[in-house]
Amino acid sequence: MSAPRSALALALEGLRARRRRAVLSGLGIAVAAATLSVSVVIGYGLGTGFHRATAAAGLPDVIVRFDPQAAPRVAARIAALPDVARYALRLEVTNVGIGARGHQRGDAVAEVLDAPGTHQGYAVLSGHDLGDRGSDVLVEQGLASAWGLALGDPFYVDGLGPQRVVGFAEGPDDVGYPLGKPRFYLSRPAIDAQLGAQADPRVDLAEIWLRNPAYLSEVLVQARATSFGLHDIRFATRSGLRILIDQAAGIVIDLLVALSLIALMTAGVMLAVSARAEVQRRLGAIGVRRAVGATRAYLTVAHALEATLVALPAASLGVLLGGLATVAPAGRLETMLNEPAPRWALAGPLLLAWLAAVLIPSAGAAWPAWRAAGRPVARLLRGADVASSGAGATTRGGVPGSSPRLRGGLVALGARMVAARRARLAVTIATLGLSAAFVLLLLALASELSSLETDPGALGKRYALTAALPPSAAARVRRIPGVLAAAPRYEVQGADSFDLGETIDVIAYPGDHTTFEAPALVSGRRLRGGREAEVGAGLATALGLTEGSTLALALADGSELRLRVAGVVSSLDDDGRVAYIPASALLGPEPAAPSAIAVVLAPGADVSTVLAALTRLGAAPTPVSTAVGRGVPLVDVLRTILRAIAIVDGLVCLYALVQACALTVQERRPAVAVMRAGGGGVGAIVRLLAGAALAIVTPAAVIGVLLERGVLGPALSHLAESYATLPLGAGPAEILAVLAGLALVAAVAVVSVALDAAREPVIRGLAT
Amino acid sequence: MSVLEARSLVKTIGTGRALRTLLDGVSLSVGPGELVAVLGRSGSGKSTLLHLLGGLDHPDAGQISVAGEELTGRGRRRLPAIRMRHIGFVFQQFHLIDELTGAENVLLPTRLPGAPAGGARRAAELIERLGLEPVTAHRPHELSGGEQQRFALARALVNGPELILADEPTGSLDVENGDAVLGLLRDLPRRAVVIVTHEPDTAAIADRVLRLAGGQLLADGRGP
């Protein structure tokens, strides 16, 4: 028989002899491969989604929004700009009533294309684009999926009547439905053909493609200078959109990558120690084979083949299951973000994940076999045990002349047995500790998402209501019972004078704004003088602002404000692109800045009473929306993903503990058999393994908590600090939940392995 | 009254053409204070018989009772309790646990769930009686073969069983240590002892010697 065939035969023989162990190893590899696959599908999909979307849709370099203007006038302004390759104009009509397939909405966004054709900043995924005639609509993919629309379906639009769905599109300039509002596209020439041409067609959005995007800043400066006659101009650049979209996906990707690395490390390490233990048990057989002429390479290949034969189907199954389980939710998330699914582009990364899941266990088995086969044959034949019970024997358990004692009984014995393999114990504890830390982090993050969703105070907003009343009404509002404080809240859109692509939400209060809004101070101090500003962390990051820097604000009317940055605060509003300034500084150049009265309620105040009183004053009070109120579907998807990650993480913990317990029982079969021969039943084995599990879980829990609170939580908070302060240190509830989870996982591992061990005939263990 | 009563035990292994009858209607009765040796060649079924007598394996037919408790037909939950209270095992390979000292190994059965009280006292007495006091705190690898087997014997006795089953108890010992261990087994008061061995010298200390051959247990006729 040739050497490769002989090695294969030896590997198959090994597998047949150790079927249960092979199944356990296979499960571990499958879990790791599934985790990797999940990470690849979600991580790759989200990480490259914006790039795919912009490539497919031909996203413009800059999108300009303004108050509706005559299309020829806007076209003339754009024609005056340098370096413009092409442009497209449209009218964005909001709060449009639509209906199809039994669904209805009254808040849809109709994108009326001034001149349909190519380069409209969206990709047609199926069907065809709009033409100059016909009652056609292009519906955004997210809306089509949510409503189950098909090509050719009737689509009712208020004011136009029934239209026909001719295609589905994705426009990456905004998030899709249900994350954003339902959106569809119409052709103005087609509408004109139906209803008659308008005398003065208006547009309020221009998409501009540049010949050389490197000149974006210069074009924006020029655009600002030549935009006279256009009001309420807001610019959005491609990089700005990307930041917006990426922020949603960033944390998820970071978590997934970290978790898959942990899972891979866990599986790799556990498989490696398992393989090492296996090799150690078979030292005698290796010695005999070496004695009769088997080479070191042959034995190594045989062991590697044995591991590969287990890894091949397990990794394939894991990658397949992980992929299948994740493709659909990842696709939904991508559709929400208006990004196309990667489809076949996933094949390469998934293949790499599969290769890693096969090669790591194979290498983990080959290495100890290579090392063992290199030992002197005489030593191998003696089959030296790996138990570290050699030197350093202690006098625990009694000294001559004293009563013998067995401290801790079977539980302590189990702990001592598992501690005999120090390296494996350390690795298992580290694995479990890391996994526990990640679960803690996920719980803290989920809790933070919940608080952001339900508690405006989490963002530093202390006012509960706003009332559409003039500033002069603040004194009257303050007199309403239950109102603690009330003041005009001015809010305008500005832009950075040096980089006009960066829009800024400017908020101003007369006096101390922290009474109404006190987002956490990241650095510096609060406002003191009249020419100072507190800027959001997102804005500080985008513009490179620090304490003492100058914030140059270009306001809508063309005036400019120069303010000294006093401090940097965290805020999720407008992705942290906010600036808090004194009202006096804003009202100088913009005396008619829009405002509403912000109302802080007294503790225990009756909200309905206050609302009724405000209504009597003629106001239309509005409760404060939370940071993620508009993005509830995204938060739901994030929660689903976090839950999936936590489940996989839990499986990793379970696998690590089952492996540790199973290896302990496997290696100590004679000891367990003697105990059973002496009358020990399942209960005795459970106690023994409980000790082993305790020896692993207790330090792992401590490490997990310390790691999350000291390293992972602060690290993730740091990642997110560009746009929000997320205090991600786990609290007592999360810690208790993780401890309970660890206890449950340990109990499952202990009981399952104990029942399994008790099924083995005692005499088989004695014969080992 | 007998401590051990086995009647018409049958045990086969393998299936089809590979079917082999190891025990074919074996009966055995051992009283308190009696030491019975079962002699036989390798593969004759000695260890299988011992495993059946100790409730570690089930016969295909026949009945076994130990100290008045029926072993055959008992479920997996009840058998360990019977073994704990009534049966002690001594193995050729000692099977001491590496992580425990000699004394702790003796104490191990006393810490099993349901073990009779007073284990520590009995362990101390046994250690003293077997002359193991100077090495109580030693780990197995620090003990001689004889010392290890004496600790294993103490472990078998610590819960006060009426029946001791010894499988080649001197197989891993030199002559001197082997004799010492056999002497201890010989002098166990009020206990029924069954030794299986292939060495006639070991069997020589028995009150009764039986030979297992062809699945039948026959009187050897070489007893004292």
Per-residue pLDDT reduced to its tens digit, B66-112: 999 998 888 777 888 888 889 999 888 888 888 889 999 999 888 88
User: Which residue of chain A comes nearest to B123, CA vs CA?
Assistant: A404
Look at residue A707 and tell me whether its pLDDT is greater than 70. Answer: yes
Neighbour count for residue A111 (Cβ, 10 Å): 24
User: Which chain B residues are Cβ-neighbours of A393 within 8 angstroms?
Assistant: 101, 137-139, 141-142
Q: Give the pLDDT of residue A392.
A: 40
Q: Does A679 touch chain B (CB under 8 A)?
A: yes
C-alpha distances in angstroms, A422 versus A387, A418, A425, A665, B56?
10, 8, 5, 16, 33
CB-CB under 8 Å, A763 with B99: no
A679 contacts B112? CB cut-off 8 A: yes
Please give, rounded to a whole number of angstroms, the shortest distance from the CA of B211 to a CA of chain A: 22
pLDDT at A453 over 70: no
Confidence (pLDDT) at A355: 92
A382 interfaces chain B, CB cutoff of 8 Å: no
Indicate if the pLDDT at residue B144 is higher than 60.
yes
B107/A397 touch (CB, cutoff 8 Å), yes or no: yes
Question: What's the pLDDT at A386?
Answer: 37
- Count of structural domains within chain B: 1
Mean pLDDT of A211-218: 82
Sheet of B69-70: strand order equals B20-30, B4-13, B61-66, B69-70
Give yes or no for a contact between A70 and A201, defined as CB atoms under 8 angstroms apart.
yes
Which of A74-78, A322-326, B86-90 is modeled with the greatest confidence? B86-90
Q: Do A397 and B111 touch (CB under 8 A)?
A: no
Report whether pLDDT(A284) > 80: no
Query: Which CA distances in Å does A102 have to A43, A147, A530?
Result: 36, 9, 56
Q: How confident is the model at residue A636 (pLDDT cuts 50, 70, 90)?
A: low
A755 Cβ under 8 Å from any chain B Cβ: no
Residue A720's pLDDT band, with cuts at 50, 70 and 90, is low
**Which pairs from A322-326 meet CB under 8 Å and 24+ separation?**
A322/A33, A322/A34, A322/A35, A322/A36, A322/A37, A322/A38, A322/A41, A323/A37, A323/A38, A323/A40, A323/A41, A323/A350, A325/A34, A325/A38, A325/A644, A326/A37, A326/A38, A326/A41, A326/A42, A326/A644
B160-189 pLDDT, tens digit each: 899 999 988 888 778 888 888 888 888 888
Is B186 within a domain? Answer: yes
Q: Span A411-427, mean pLDDT?
A: 86
What is the per-residue burial (b if ≥16 Cβ within 10 Å, else e) of A94-104? Answer: eebebbbeeee
Angstroms from A424 CA to nearest CA on chain B: 16
Mutate to test the interface with A, among B57, B85, B108, B159 (most CBs of A within 10 A): B108
Q: Quick one: pLDDT band at residue B223, thresholds 50, 70, 90?
A: very low
| Summary mean pLDDT of chain A | 80
Q: pLDDT higher for A388 or A736?
A: A736
Whole-angstrom distance, CA of residue A401 vs CA of residue B135: 10
Residues of chain A with Cβ-Cβ distance to B97 below 8 Å are 413, 417, 668, 671, 674
Arithmetic mean of pLDDT, A418-432? 83
What lies within 8 Å, CB to CB, of A493 at 6+ separation is A232, A234, A503, A504, A505, A506, A556
**pLDDT value at A439 more than 50:** yes
Distance CA A679, CA B155 (A): 12
Provide the pLDDT for residue A393.
41
In a domain, B224, yes or no: no
Q: Given pLDDT bands bounded at 50, 70 and 90, which one contains residue A292?
A: confident
Task: Give the model's pLDDT for residue B79.
Answer: 85
Tell whether A674 lies on the interface with B, counting CB pairs under 8 A: yes
Q: How many CB atoms lie within 10 A of CB A209?
A: 18
Q: Which of A404, A761, A766 sits opposite B136 (nearest CB)?
A: A404
* pLDDT tens-place string over residues A555-587: 877 788 889 999 988 775 665 778 999 999 888
Positive or negative CA dihedral for A662, A663, A669, A673?
Answer: negative
Q: Where are the beta strands (DSSP E) in A324-469?
A: 465-467
Tens of pLDDT, residues A652-670: 778 778 878 887 887 788 8
| pLDDT cut 90: percent of chain A above it | 16
Cα angle for residues A643, A649, A653 (degrees, 5° grid): 140
Residues of chain A with Cβ-Cβ distance to B139 below 8 Å are 389, 393-394
User: Measured between CB atoms, does A387 come within 8 Å of chain B?
Assistant: yes
Q: What is the mean pLDDT of residues A292-313?
A: 86
Residue B148 lies in a domain: yes
- The band of B221, judged by pLDDT with boundaries at 50, 70 and 90, is low
Say whether pLDDT at A635 is over 80: no
* Residue A684 C-alpha, separation from nearest chain B C-alpha, in angstroms: 6
The reply to whether residue B137 touches residue A394, judged by beta carbons under 8 angstroms, is yes
Give the one of B89, B133, B141 whose C-beta lies nearest to A390's C-beta: B141
Per-residue pLDDT reduced to its tens digit, A345-376: 889 999 998 998 888 888 888 888 888 888 87
Structural domain boundaries enclosing B93: 4-219
* Rounded distance between C-alpha atoms, residue B162 and residue A407, angstroms: 28
**Is the predicted ipTM greater than 0.90, yes or no?**
no
Give tens-digit pLDDT for A91-146: 988 888 999 999 988 888 999 988 877 778 888 888 988 887 778 899 998 899 88
Q: What residues in B contact A405, CB-CB < 8 Å?
A: 103-104, 107, 120
Q: Are the CB atoms for A350 and A342 separated by under 8 Å?
A: no
Chain B residues with CB under 8 Å of A400 CB are 133-137
List pLDDT tens digits, range A467-509: 888 898 899 999 999 999 999 999 888 877 766 556 788 999 9
Average pLDDT over residues A320-346: 81
User: Bigger pLDDT: B217 or A24?
Assistant: B217
Is residue B22 in some structural domain? yes
Q: Is the pLDDT of residue A218 over 60?
A: yes
For chain B, say whether A481 makes contact (Cβ under 8 Å): no
CATH of residue B183: 3.40.50.300
Judging contacts by C-beta atoms under 8 Å, the chain B residues touching residue A689 are none
B15 is a domain residue: yes
Q: Do B112 and A680 touch (CB under 8 A)?
A: yes
User: Across the strands, what pairs with A140?
Assistant: A169
Q: Chains A, B: CB contacts under 8 A, how many?
A: 145
In the three-class reduction of DSSP (H, G, I as helix; E, B as strand; rest coil), residue A405 is classed as: coil
> Which pLDDT belongs to residue A424?
77
pLDDT in the model for residue A138: 93
**Contact criterion met (CB < 8 Å) for B136 and A420:** no
Task: Grade residue B113 by pLDDT with cuts at 50, 70 and 90.
Answer: confident
At A236, is the secondary structure helix, strand, or coil?
Answer: strand
Binned at pLDDT 50, 70 and 90, residue A391 comes out as very low
Residue B128 has pLDDT above 50, yes or no: yes
Q: How far is CA A207 from CA A61, A495, A562, in A?
A: 8, 18, 30
In this structure, is residue B119 part of a structural domain? yes
Q: Does the structure show a pLDDT above 80 at B3?
A: yes
Tell me phi and psi for residue A206, to 5 degrees: -125, 135
With respect to residue B26, please indicate whether it lies within any of the assigned structural domains: yes
- Tell me the shortest Cα–Cα distance from A416 to chain B, in angstroms: 7
